[in-house]
Structure 1
Amino acid sequence: MFPRVILKEMMIKKSQQKKIVSPCNYKERVFVLDTQELKYSECRPGKKPMLKGCIPLFRIKCVEIVFCDVPIPCNYKYPFQVFHDNHYLYIFAPDNDCRQRWVRALKEETKNNNLVSKYHPNFWMDGKWRCCQQADKLAAGCHVYYPEGEASKKPLPKLPDSKMELHNSGQLTVIALQDYAPANNDDIPLVKDEEYILIDSNHADWWAVQNGQGAIGFVPSTYVAEKSVKNFERFEWYNKNINRGEAETLLKNEDREGAFMVRDSSQAGVFTVSVFAKALGSNGERTPSVKHYQIRQTQTGKAAFYLAENYLFNTIPQLIHYHQHNAAGLITRLRHPVSRDGGCSQELADLSQDQWQVNPTELVLGQELGTGQFGRVLEGRWRENKVAVKMVIEGCMSEEDFKEEAKVMMQLSHCKLVQLYGVCTQRSPLCLVFEFMDNGCLTDYLRARKGRLSADQLLGMCLDVSEGMMYLESSNFIHRDLAARNCLVSKNNEVKVSDFGMTRFVFDDQYTSSQCSKFPVKWSAPEVIRYCKFSSKSDIWSFGVLMWEVFTEGRLPYEHLSNAEVVEMLNKGLRLQKPRLAPHSVHILMEWCWKEKPDDRPSFSLLLHEIGSLGHVKQPIC
């Protein structure tokens, strides 16, 4: 079967300079990407193109845009990089749309390779990396690499006229809230957390800034924040001249968990975060209340803002951005910005959109498949398709929590995750409609086939789960409840990760539960048990337990111990014993997952590579 051609285009290639004496040159080449290789050829008038290079896709470790802060000496000005076999191939596209198209396609074809965890966003030039000044060409990257690309990013507004007169803003300093790759000659790159001088802020969408090398250009105004404490009017969470009583009235009227605002405090130059939550009282009932947190500044050293002392930020927008996704000491996450004029902003995806809303008249419910903490799962049919319907048990999950779960599922799409087809909010109880997995949960599947599954088949199941979890990890999601019972098996015996009811999106790879809600002790890492601190590394611990479940054919971990005895055992440094069916190499991976310190545990991308290298298991197919 011949490989399918995905893209074909004329672009410019920079010489790879594999030897120190190799010349630096730029040549036009016809690039062809198919399902197996990236090839480039020289065009010869009247003759067949001459193949000049061929890179098998499985050798590619990174594909990313290059943030360029130097003049580009060729006609095409939009560079991107392909890192393979310890070599960097720099390709220059004629426009940004072309560059984005190639980067997205290459990332899609290589996202399950043995990828780098970090990359260099700038060029290797004059014997060093321009981004981090490291002098070793194979030095580890300085920015986190995300294999999923940028296909879904909201388009930015049109750049202002390059002839627009700039008005000096008085040497104010701004800090980049996130990276930004320029798409035109008039804008410049941003590197997250680096400082820039604000030159002009008169345009609503684009500000002119100066970087450390003296280059001046436009950047999106929402990508930077002033280091000084002022000019918050452009943020939807800021309410000027609202006192404590007015804030409480507005937030209570919204009656939404995590509704919040930032307002001026009674003390000049100080700001307060007011947030609405329904706290669980001693009688077991939830009482509505508004908590007020003063934003404080450190008194010594570099100025920093905080609500909880362990979480310091250079700017107030950075602080709010963080706590919108992590409670970290607050009564709840800052979920829904509230303003005096506009009420509560619609942060959640619009669940009434046609592509997500399931018409209840089209949904036919069948027998019950199982029951979980938050709802029942029923077999169903929707538009002639067999589906699984998760129905929320009334009183066990609020509509807000339901929408949170739906929002998470809508953002995730991978062949090793159980896919959400739609939601049904026009009936009670609320429903989520998923793809149907014929062979049920992994625990039951293993127990029903005890003694009939080979070591390679068991390892293949672990490989499936690690693929899905690597996708979550690369997307900055943590699962928090990974176990064999929360993985499902398709009719093709493919294992997929399910049940994202406890999932959280995090920016610093850590989530601290605000109320330390219940969690499965026998699958939980020590830092979860002791401090309620979740991260992708606590998911790694749970994955090690899941591997143990697989190679014991569905046994319950620590089956004869109580939760308290498990905690005591872990505190003594003891771990689950090697399953009889697990090869020594597999048991080593389990023990790696169960390292005491989270930083000593592997990443899912590394685990995926290690599992794939063992035995004769199927290779990743997504």
Structure 2
Amino acid sequence: MYPRAILKDTLYKKSQQKRRTSPCNYKERIFVLNTQDLTYFENRPGKKPTQKGCIELSHIKCVEIVRSDVPIPCNYKYPFQVAHDSYYLYVFAPNNDCRLKWVRALKEATQCNTLFMKYHPDFWGEGKWRCCHQTDKLATGCSEYYPNGAKPLPPTPDPKHRYIDSEERIVVALRNFNPEEDSDLPLHKDEEYVVVDSSEPNWWTVRDKNGNVGPVPCIYIAEKMSNNIDKFEWYNKDMTRTEAEELLMRENKDGGFMVRDSRHAGVYTVSIFTRASGSDGEKYPLVKHYQIKETEGENVKYYLAEKYVFSSIPELIRYHQHNSAGLITRLRHCVSRNIQYSSRINELSSEKWEIYSEELILSEELGSGQFGLVWKGCWHEKQVAVKTVREGFMSEEEFKEEAHIMMKLSHTKLVQLYGVVTQRSPMYLVFEFMEYGCLTDFLRAKKGCLSQEVLLAMCLDVSEGMAYLESSNFIHRDLAARNCLVSKDHVVKISDFGMTRFVLDDQYTSSFGTKFPVRWSSPEVIRFGKYSSKSDVWSFGVLIWEVYSEGRMPYDNRSNSEVVETLSAGLRLLRPRLCPQSVYELMQWSWKEKPDDRPSFALLLHELACLDQDP
């Protein structure tokens, strides 16, 4: 009797590179999972498929999704891995649903395999594991693998040391999290969880109120804070107003801030330095002082701007580090008489991200923007784009801000950051090289040559990247065709994250006087400086218009002030000649006056994907 087939699909496989000198390639194979083994075949049209490999299920030690930020060179972009014997088989699925279907089926088929192991969550490449940088291909993995999703309890503590550290770390869920993997723990907004393991930089293991344990993404949680502020580096005890102003002026960092004691006992003040000039009549640079106020009643809360109240002062500070929300600028850089180096700078120059300048060869200038220059370069025999700050146009701290954001983001439709050069001035950001450059220029150069399928695929690429940003609590704030790049395979990726912000409540209010791109901006941004994922949706509607207009400037016959008048009158951009009515309806949906009436990126991605599948 033949073994029963469980799953069958056409997927891609990567060569296992059993020898260091083996070439890396990607081949389409028919994969068949049955009750005894995992087999893959080469499809030969008109002939019987040829078996190219077979793995007995009893030999499989690990099946997991591959978490990686490297570009995927084959057509299928969703990798998972099957570890067996001493090898890793990397398989690539066409979409995430297909990948999850295979991972779950393989885990279920191998659940009786009792061997636990550590595995590598990222790829092997260029002579080392990308996740842990070990250079031995047979090196023990760096992450624990638990096939049934239930991690074993930690060893019982030694009674002698049981009460040495009795303080539990509590985190609060910032939003709901629905896991894609069985081993991950779901999160419910505002509920509390106990931290079990925080050694992984991006995923912490926590315990919920029912005793369930599992990993959760760090960007979805925040530590519950008490009102004890003595331990925070931003608190400057016994510092006077004059001393604070002198220190902040000397540091000269836009958004530099500290919390200090006010003249009244038990009251605290936030002092902020800004260089940005506005039209409010004040002289710049200056230091502004905001008293932390308390609400009345038993359940005391704290605020700087009345709409934004918090249970503790640390929570208030953490919020305003991401959102100015009524302040002259957001709290960007902690300043203290005890701090010599910013932790953000230390993170930038960490071993994982630092590239030595002698490894880079710059060849030609690709372009220049308002703030920086972009060069074509070579790094480890790989073409790269090197971005550097233009002296006098952008502070190095703002430049580091963009690098810091890019380190948190990883998606196939976002331009990938390879690393940074911090040990020289000016600092470099090293990105993947996109052969066809800016989307606007590409559309204009190919005018009349791009099919409807290609135009729609470009919009799909951008919506996929923006859906990822939306799900990760990031707002781009400068989405436009000029800030997207095109690869040699005509894949469009989002770039230029200089204005991107991480938000805790899907809302960001810019500082007074902040510049913004009027032609891509929603009414609430123009009137109030209020950004959200829904203001990004408005900008995406304009980007779709740019794509189907083959690179035309939006409202090209109007000035910025006339654009504002046009929007205030309820008028919108007209349907481009090449644009199908169904796509124009999505644009109009993106341009609804009220943000809540606009779709999410997840919904836009779904609608565009349905259009892509229509005959």
Q: TM-score, normalised by structure 1?
A: 0.66
The letter for the 1-side match of 2:412 is C
Give the Å deviation of 1:615: 3.2
1:593 is aligned to 2:590: yes
1:405 is aligned to 2:402: yes
The letter for the 2-side match of 1:376 is L
- Paired residue total: 487
Show the 5 A alignment for 1:17-32.
Answer: none
1:325 is aligned to 2:322: yes
Q: Percent identity?
A: 56
The letter for the 2-side match of 1:224 is K
Show CA shifts across 1:330-366 (max 9, x none).
2222122234434454234533334433433443333
Change over 3 Å in CA distance of 1:562–1:3 after alignment to 2? closer
Change over 3 Å in CA distance of 1:275–1:310 after alignment to 2? same
Give the Å deviation of 1:608: 1.1
Show the 5 A alignment for 1:344-359.
Answer: 345-359=342-356
Aligned pair partner of 2:306 in 301, 306, 309: 309
1:367 is aligned to 2:364: yes
Aligned pair partner of 1:495 in 492, 495, 507: 492
The letter for the 1-side match of 2:225 is A
The letter for the 1-side match of 2:432 is E
CA contact (8 A) 2:366 2:376 kept: yes
Aligned pair partner of 1:534 in 519, 522, 531: 531
Q: Which moved more, 1:438-447 or 1:608-617?
A: 608-617
- Residue 470 of structure 2 aligns with which residue? 473
Change over 3 Å in CA distance of 1:579–1:357 after alignment to 2? same
1:246 is aligned to 2:227: no
C-alpha distance in structure 1 between counterparts of 2:602 and 2:304, whole Å: 34
Show the 5 A alignment for 1:492-571.
Answer: 492-571=489-568
Show CA shifts across 1:24-63 (max 9, x none).
xxxxx9996689999xxxxxxxxxxxxxxxx997558999
CA contact (8 A) 1:93 1:99 kept: no
C-alpha distance in structure 1 between counterparts of 2:175 and 2:118, whole Å: 17
Show CA shifts across 1:253-304 (max 9, x none).
4332222222222222222112232242779998443322111012258532
- Residue 607 of structure 1 aligns with which residue? 604
1:225 is aligned to 2:225: yes
Q: Where does structure 2 lack aligned partners over 5 or more consecutive residues?
A: 1-9, 17-32, 34-59, 66-75, 81-92, 124-153, 178-184, 195-206, 213-217
CA contact (8 A) 1:37 1:57 kept: no
Give the Å deviation of 1:196: 10
1:446 is aligned to 2:438: no
C-alpha distance in structure 2 between counterparts of 1:326 and 1:362, whole Å: 37
SS at 1:585 equivalent: helix
CA contact (8 A) 1:338 1:344 kept: no
Change over 3 Å in CA distance of 1:531–1:397 after alignment to 2? same
SS at 2:612 equivalent: coil
C-alpha distance in structure 1 between counterparts of 2:208 and 2:432, whole Å: 49
1:573 is aligned to 2:570: yes
The letter for the 2-side match of 1:581 is L
C-alpha distance in structure 2 between counterparts of 1:58 and 1:412, whole Å: 18
- Residue 277 of structure 2 aligns with which residue? 280
Change over 3 Å in CA distance of 1:379–1:212 after alignment to 2? closer
SS at 1:233 equivalent: coil
Give the Å deviation of 1:92: 11
CA RMSD of aligned residues (A): 4.8
Change over 3 Å in CA distance of 1:407–1:212 after alignment to 2? closer
CA contact (8 A) 1:238 1:339 kept: yes
CA contact (8 A) 1:551 1:579 kept: yes
C-alpha distance in structure 2 between counterparts of 1:538 and 1:610, whole Å: 19
Change over 3 Å in CA distance of 1:94–1:387 after alignment to 2? same
Q: Where does structure 1 lack aligned partners over 5 or more consecutive residues?
A: 9-28, 39-54, 64-80, 83-88, 106-157, 182-187, 198-209
C-alpha distance in structure 2 between counterparts of 1:160 and 1:285, whole Å: 62
Give the Å deviation of 1:214: 12
Change over 3 Å in CA distance of 1:93–1:394 after alignment to 2? farther
Q: TM-score, normalised by structure 2?
A: 0.67
Change over 3 Å in CA distance of 1:101–1:282 after alignment to 2? same
CA contact (8 A) 2:279 2:513 kept: no
